[in-house]
Structure 1
Amino acid sequence: MNQRFLPVPAPGTTPVRVMTIAGSDSGGGAGIQADMRTFALLGVHGLVAVTAVTVQNSVGVKGFHEVPLDIIAGQIEAVASDIGLQAAKTGMLASSAIIDTVADVWRGQGLSGSVPLVVDPVCASMHGDPLLHPSALDSLKHQLFPLATLVTPNLDEVRLFTGIEVVDAATQHDAARALHGLGPQWALVKGGHLRTSSHSADLLYNGTDFFEFDATRIDTGHDHGAGDTLAAATASALAHGHSVPDAVEFGKRWVTECLRAAYPLGQGHGPVSPLFRLSR
């Protein structure tokens, strides 16, 4: 999939719809805010189920408040029953109870197997601040991963779920096999934090075949929201009917361009930015 952008609908035409089930970032760099920026600039109508409200800025996460379970379920049900969606992605889910609720409503609405679901298993912020209770790891593995079309953990999250420390290509392949064994249709082991070369290689696996996606590493300290942005762009491509390998390739190209356009913000890490599209 060589295209850099997805088709933008003509004025007055209903776009494809993609839902983000995630937390709100008060600093605007990651979470739902990052997802909605990517959706909008890819010509996608973004739908939202807020799971938590975080208190954070460019320096770190000061705290968060979980949204009541009935409100989380109600958001998904209300949208699915009326507007409909062509794909979804998850981000911060915070607790076992939230994860179980999302999984239950996903199955209950008949979305499992019919709507592509990208699970970005957010466990901590880029500063290391926890965004998921440790007890929730089992819920992610046993409740949500089996519903996922694709899981997209970073290397720290890979280690938490599989016990494998990815240090080279061989362990990256081992981790992809182990992740796939937890139930998703496809597992992506991202190489952005594997700083062994000037390139960033992501590895995709479906239980049979491996697909590698390579890009020049962008040297920037402003990479807040990169994982959210990759998952959102990939979900957007899936909503347009692209295959998982093509969608991941598109997401990789998109987040690389967003890293090139990243900007400083506050006293810490600035966000990756899809605003580059406004100048094209």
Structure 2
Amino acid sequence: MIALVVLVIAISVAQPSFLSFPNQMNILSQWAPVAIMGIGMTYVVITGGFDLSVGATYALAAVVAAAIGQSQPPVVAFSAAIAAGLVVGVVNGFIVTALRVNPFIATLGTSLVVGGITLAITGNKAFIVAFEPFTALGRDRLAGVPYSGILVIVLFVIAGLVLAYTSWGQSVYAVGGNLEASRLAGIRTSGVVGSAYAIAGLTAGVAGVVTASQLSSAQASLGATLVFDVLTVVIVGGTALSGGRGAIWRTAVGVGILATLQNGFNLLDIDAYYQDVIKGVIIIAALATLDRGGARHLRRLLAGRGPSH
């Protein structure tokens, strides 16, 4: 929170237009997909997991929405796209829990499969939707506030309340904190972990719908590097990569930090290539200072040994 406040003050002093209402609403609209995916990723990370497939799932959902939206009403196209995202999430959950495949390997493999399916659907070409109602969710505004931004706020409130005040949310924390103790306490750990991956797929589907509506088009290359932004906002927000600690509001702060940095760079005409350098430094700093057990946990996932709970 302190870092976000300092960033906002510094950039506002350097470029006063940063705090203008139109600019803030543009930031909200531009970062809506990452913020929405951050919700599902937060759940997965708190359970001690990892999901590298959200970028590919996001692209698949956007392509499904645009492909169906060319001939069907938006509600049909959007529903199909969100359902596609949910299916990928359920498959991830099944592979991780039932087949006991390492989350890193499982979701990396799913990402490749889903990416290949998306390329096969599109033939590496863009689907363009000329139907104006299709763009309402992504482009229209209420009192100057983009619908996509309103959707982000509503989803963050609901997701935060679910995580903090429901038995399922408490089970998510318990499983991430100590998997074996949770199992002995009677928690259906496979169901909790599987549902977290399902929600991650669902939110990736919603994010894909938002982007397709914003662009009025979609192609397979969408989301190629988006997974890194999603992971960055979750980690920088303070959710522990080692599992058991975190919150939706923390992810909102992470989105604010990353969005403020990128928008500030753009306003100050700083080369976009430096943004990746800054993101990398931020991730390293976050793991080093906020989540001392996260690096060790990540090494275990990469080595295929699973959570250390």
Indicate the structure (1 or 2) with the bigger Cα radius of gyration.
2
Higher relative helix content: 2
Give your verdict on TM over 0.5. no
TM-score normalised to the size of structure 2? 0.27
Higher relative strand content: 1
